Structure 1
Amino acid sequence: MRWVCLLFPRLALEGALRRRADPEAPFALVDGPAQRQCIRAANRAAREQGVKPGQALGFAEALFNAPLFKAPGAAPLFKAPGAAPLSKAPNSAPENGSEPASGERLETAPFDAESVERWRRRLASWAYGFSAQVSLHYPHALVFEVASSLDLLGPWPRLEARLRSELAELGFSHRLVIAPNPAAARVLVNVHDGLAVDDAGLEPALAALRLDRAGLANIDAGQDIVQTLKRSGFQRLGELFALPRSALARRFGGGLLRHLSELRGEWPLALDYHRPTPRFSRTFEFDQPVHALAGLAFPLKRLLQELAAFLMGQDAGVERFRLTFELEDGPAQAVEIGLLAVQRDPDTLLELTRAHLERVRLAGPVMSLTLSAPRLSAYAPVRRELLEGPARQAQAWATLHQRLVARLGEPVLKPLVEYREHRPEMAVIDGAGPRARDASVGPARPGWLTPTPQRCDGDVAQLLAGPERIESGWWDGGDIRRDYYLAQWADGRHAWVWCEPGRQGWYLHGWFG
């Protein structure tokens, strides 16, 4: 078996950044009691200004908001190590010996452990698209078995590249290791990224681990065991593998021995496997009311990316989903997005949704946006032909049809339906009527009919086929009696012409493509 472990060291921060309109603006998560809040994690823009985990919130805010006073030519008097030069707060008057502060301010949000678990479950639903055995057993990580999937998705380098690419699109940094068992993969990902070990290479890879990176803290009295081993001179996991197991069990109990056996794959690890919910619903809440649809572009893209990842894990697609706008004043406004075919590509979903929203007018300022897909549909990937031609043209027409429906609305577009009627001008109606026989059966018909027949005596250069007698309509007063021909014009075009039997004169009634 081959187990992948994905470790997400910044899951709480990156999950919070996905809900922000500008993820590049300085931002930090804070934790602790209200009187003594400190920085839990900070994004790159905040770290460049000197914000670090463990700092008091007041100190971190001072790095952005406090003006910096110094004598002309002197070094800064107040600056965090590694911080960028501070400038004076905006809209304040310049003073002698002071630097202008940065116009940015540090945005913060409280650390939410439940939100981290929600993101882990969502990522587990995404990983379900690669394996049916996905587990949330280890904190901050996912483990899933991929040996059974390599024949379809592999080899491993290709699958690894796909995993990393999709996680990058979702916006989550990660570390990744593949090993023969989940316990070994979890401890190896602490010190490696991209490591792939097989059964033969497992023991040397584990033996090189330091004791504080070997997961010993997770067993009973783990911290005491680690300290005792270090005081005894042990530094690496391989040194414990060399000791007699009976001696380890007598000195440290069965917990340590079981952990070492799990790492080697000698003790099976019972895991609870994740099963994703068959329904999708996500909400994006705004800090301030959004008054225009343009302000919904970023959250809509994020929500559709999450929907696409969820559908990939379910190996499904959607034909219909709902956008619900919670308004500042008034009842919620719902918009149904209907598709002509099952879709799950995020770019396609975004393009069609934007086209739908062009016909929507918001009833008021929006406080939150919810995307829900209560019903999933079976998804069949687009079939690719070795020799592209008619199949590619059919796909292009289906795509164009979907875009027109999204932009103009389904009632505006009506299909042309062939009616069971011999008279050409009565044989095509828009959007209703009984279906006729297959168009490939019977005489050829032009793709374009003229609104009314037009006289064309001098244009016919050659008759290629015909005549075809059409005589009908005596029962409704629209009696006709015509002989139709396939004719060629002098410039090479093919036309559908007719004449009345026994009379002179040609009439143009349609064009062939």
Structure 2
Amino acid sequence: MHWLAWHLPPAADAGLPAGAQGWWALRFTPCVALLDEALLLEVSGTERLWGGRGALRALLRQQAPQPSGDGPGDLGDRDWAEASTALQALALLRLRRAGRPAPWRVPHDLPVATLTALRPHAGALQHLGCRTWGALRALPRAGVARRFGAASLEALDQGWGDRPLPLDWIVLPERFDLEVELPARAETADALLWAGQRLLDALQGWLRARHQGVLALEVAWHHDLRRIDGVDLPAWQRLELRTAQAVQGTAHLRRLLAERLARQRLAAPADRLALRSLQTAALPQDSASLLPPQGQAQPGEPWHQLVERLSARLGPQCVQVPEPVQDHRPERMQRWQPALQAPAGGAPALPEGAQAGTPWPAWLVRPPRPLALRGDRPCLHGQPLRLLAGPQRVEAGWWEAPGEAEEGLAQRDYFVAHGPEAGWVWVFRDRATGGWFLQGVYA
């Protein structure tokens, strides 16, 4: 077996519950536990999947949160240690944190104070001249058990690897729902954002361990005051964040949260913050290829993330996208809606073998412009138009009740026309009235 011990900051300094601080490591091994001030990982069963012990060690050092709670980063040698048993790794970590070198012989020369069960007896053992694990192990076991208790011998055997060490393994919850108490009352959005970053880091660890991305989450803060100026306040104030595609990284979520909080007025100072996942989805795994990729992705912000950020900053109604509508009338074939409410995916493709009809213009005239007639030919800019393609008959709107829509029933014959002044245009004849109208202009 091979164990790694990682130093964890106190839960109050990290801003997270103790169990949540270990979620990031479950991506690399299912054997993760908290013991005293360290996070313990048993990696012998998974290190081959990550390219060997050295490669896994490098990945862990990059992904492990900083002891200061500032997010992932490459840890220094003082923040981790490794050994063949969990207690040996913890003992070596304590030596590194104290700035002391590791002994030449491990575990024989490890100081007795590095074993938690022996710390209460460290003074008595020093008077006996017993300063290391090996020296204590050399004493008669019956006498050690009478003087220092059977628990001391049991811990020594567990550190040596002669007995199994029972640990409470960290298990991921099925749903991310985390609440933290703020170190001080938050009266501004920036103060909430600081604590929110800690929760987003925990969310990222939870998502990575489950190989998922988040599509929707809820941020809520608890009011420290329940009544201001005679007005009763709700206990919680909430906002919801949604993304078009499942995301796992915190950078985009932090930008969205910052934009939304900047437009949010806190009803009262907050003393607690909660983050809850509303919708998640599995992320596709990258498959390795023997051939080099055809093209490298360009750096920059993905399009859907830009749309979400602008919607959060300007408001959903200010960023809109067209949505196709099943209607043959050109002016009714699409409608505009907020980009955040648009369904995922593009417009439906044509069936295989289907041919596109008459090419439509890029610019529609709305409402259609009536055209004068010269004889039986429509005129535009005082010049008669030549009908070059058509007719294309459209009959639609018969299902609408009278007065339901301004266009109503449409019975039209469309033509592609050309004029010396007008250029290429799209016109139609209303079969009900016989009038001609300009519907579109070709570029």
TM-score w.r.t. length of structure 1? 0.58
CA contact (8 A) 2:21 2:202 kept: no
CA contact (8 A) 2:23 2:202 kept: no
Other-structure match for 1:31: none
Given the alignment, which residue of 408, 418, 438 partners 2:349?
Answer: 438
Q: Structure 1 residue 188 and structure 2 residue 95: aligned?
A: no
CA contact (8 A) 1:446 1:496 kept: no
Deviation for aligned residue 1:123: 1.3
Other-structure match for 1:386: 293
Write the mapping of 1:330-369 to structure 2, written as runs, cut at 5 A: 330-332=232-234, 334-340=237-243, 341-363=245-267, 365-369=268-272
Other-structure match for 1:471: 393
Identity across the alignment (%): 19
Q: Structure 1 residue 418 and structure 2 residue 324: aligned?
A: yes
Write the mapping of 1:111-510 to structure 2, written as runs, cut at 5 A: 119-136=17-34, 138-165=35-62, 166-168=64-66, 170-171=69-70, 175-192=79-96, 204-213=105-114, 215=115, 218=117, 222-223=121-122, 226-227=125-126, 229-230=128-129, 235-238=131-134, 243=138, 248-253=140-145, 258-277=154-173, 278-285=175-182, 287=184, 290=187, 292-318=188-214, 319-326=216-223, 328=225, 329=228, 330-332=232-234, 334-340=237-243, 341-363=245-267, 365-373=268-276, 375=278, 377-380=280-283, 386-388=293-295, 396-410=302-316, 413-431=319-337, 437-439=348-350, 442-443=355-356, 448-452=362-366, 469-473=391-395, 478-484=410-416, 498=426, 509=441
C-alpha distance in structure 2 between counterparts of 1:468 and 1:151, whole Å:
68
CA contact (8 A) 1:212 1:226 kept: no
Task: Report the residue type matching 1:122 in the other structure.
Answer: A
- Tell me: CA distance 1:280–1:311, structure 2 relative to 1, closer, same or farther (3 Å): farther
CA contact (8 A) 1:279 1:376 kept: no
Deviation for aligned residue 1:202: 11
CA contact (8 A) 2:428 2:439 kept: no
Deviation for aligned residue 1:423: 4.0
Task: Report the residue type matching 1:438 in the other structure.
Answer: A
Greater strand share, structure number: 2
- Tell me: CA distance 1:393–1:426, structure 2 relative to 1, closer, same or farther (3 Å): farther
Deviation for aligned residue 1:272: 2.1
C-alpha distance in structure 1 between counterparts of 2:13 and 2:168, whole Å:
29
Aligned residues: 371
Deviations 1:346-386 (A, max 9, x none): 221111112223443333x4232422306462341686993
C-alpha distance in structure 2 between counterparts of 1:123 and 1:393, whole Å:
31
Structure 2, unaligned runs of 5 or more: 372-378, 382-387, 399-407, 430-436
CA contact (8 A) 1:249 1:257 kept: yes
TM-score w.r.t. length of structure 2? 0.66
Deviations 1:292-345 (A, max 9, x none): 434544333344334434444454443121322515424135232130333342
Write the mapping of 1:25-174 to structure 2, written as runs, cut at 5 A: 119-136=17-34, 138-165=35-62, 166-168=64-66, 170-171=69-70
CA contact (8 A) 2:6 2:40 kept: yes
Deviation for aligned residue 1:263: 2.9
Task: Report the residue type matching 1:304 in the other structure.
Answer: L
Q: 1:170 is paired with a residue of what secondary structure? A: coil
C-alpha distance in structure 1 between counterparts of 2:242 and 2:364, whole Å:
33
Structure 1, unaligned runs of 5 or more: 20-117, 194-200, 459-465, 488-494
CA contact (8 A) 2:185 2:270 kept: yes
C-alpha distance in structure 1 between counterparts of 2:47 and 2:119, whole Å:
36
Deviation for aligned residue 1:420: 3.1
C-alpha distance in structure 1 between counterparts of 2:239 and 2:186, whole Å:
22
- Tell me: CA distance 1:422–1:433, structure 2 relative to 1, closer, same or farther (3 Å): farther
C-alpha distance in structure 2 between counterparts of 1:447 and 1:316, whole Å:
43
CA contact (8 A) 2:213 2:281 kept: yes
Task: Report the residue type matching 1:134 in the other structure.
Answer: V
